[in-house]
Chain A
Amino acid sequence: DTGVSQNPRHKITKRGQNVTFRCDPISEHNRLYWYRQTLGQGPEFLTYFQNEAQLEKSRLLSDRFSAERPKGSFSTLEIQRTEQGDSAMYLCASSLLAGYSYEQYFGPGTRLTVT
């Protein structure tokens, strides 16, 4: 257990529905990252926050995806109008920005299945 938690762990939804995932990082970590991982591939970067500011979004993050970190603590990732191609593991990670050390600690992930 890294101290990063994600909920739910599994989500099955029908195409066209909206889903929201939550990530609770390690409490003193000021950076929070979201990744998506499909079978057989490494995690793909989606977006990251420093405190409550969203600093970067990948081109992978279409308009249907939105992420927030309202008080610089937990974060949510929402997918609107889900498509079958959204089926993947969604991973959250946190890190402490300190000097030049950026080791990230990952949660267990939320597995999304869109039917």
Chain B
Amino acid sequence: DAKTTQPPSMDCAEGRAANLPCNHSTISGNEYVYWYRQIHSQGPQYIIHGLKNNETNEMASLIITEDRKSSTLILPHATLRDTAVYYCIVTYDKVIFGPGTSLSVIP
């Protein structure tokens, strides 16, 4: 599976959009981009995934660059409950977690 690079931590003001970047320059043509998050002491939670088109669901939006070498997860109106570790994963099958980005939403 391709590896991803994410910033170790980010802050976001409550009510503002949180934009979490992910680099995956070695992604293969059949690999999807997945995002999960893990709130403290809970199991990871699936957020969204995409192949090459931008995707949106009730939780977030996923923007994938045209060359697929990077992506951004957007939480449009961050709340305190969005404070979590966010994992960007590229895979066609098995999920391998990296260290992720620790997002702190600040009042």
Instruction: Name A's B-contacting residues (CB within 8 A).
Output: 2, 4, 33, 35, 41-45, 48, 56, 91, 93, 100-109
When A41-B99, A42-B98 are in contact, do A106 and B30 touch as well, CB less than 8 Å?
no
Give Cα distance in the complex from A26 to B99, angstroms: 27
Q: From residue B6, how far is it (CB to closest CB) to chain A in Å?
A: 11
Indicate if the CB atoms of A91 and B43 lie closer than 8 Å.
yes
Interface residues on B, range: 20 to 34
**Number of CB contacts from chain A to chain B under 8 A:** 53
What A residues does B94 contact at CB under 8 A? 45, 48, 56
Knowing A2-B43, A42-B87 are in contact, say whether A104-B97 is a contact too (CB < 8 A).
Answer: no
In-complex Cβ contact of B44 among A56, A91, A100 (8 A) = A91
CB pair B46 A43 closer than 8 Å: no
Nearest neighbor of B45 in chain A, beta-carbon distance:
A106
Closest A residue by C-beta to B100: A42
With A100-B30, A100-B32 known to touch, is A105 a contact of B96 (CB < 8 Å)?
A: no
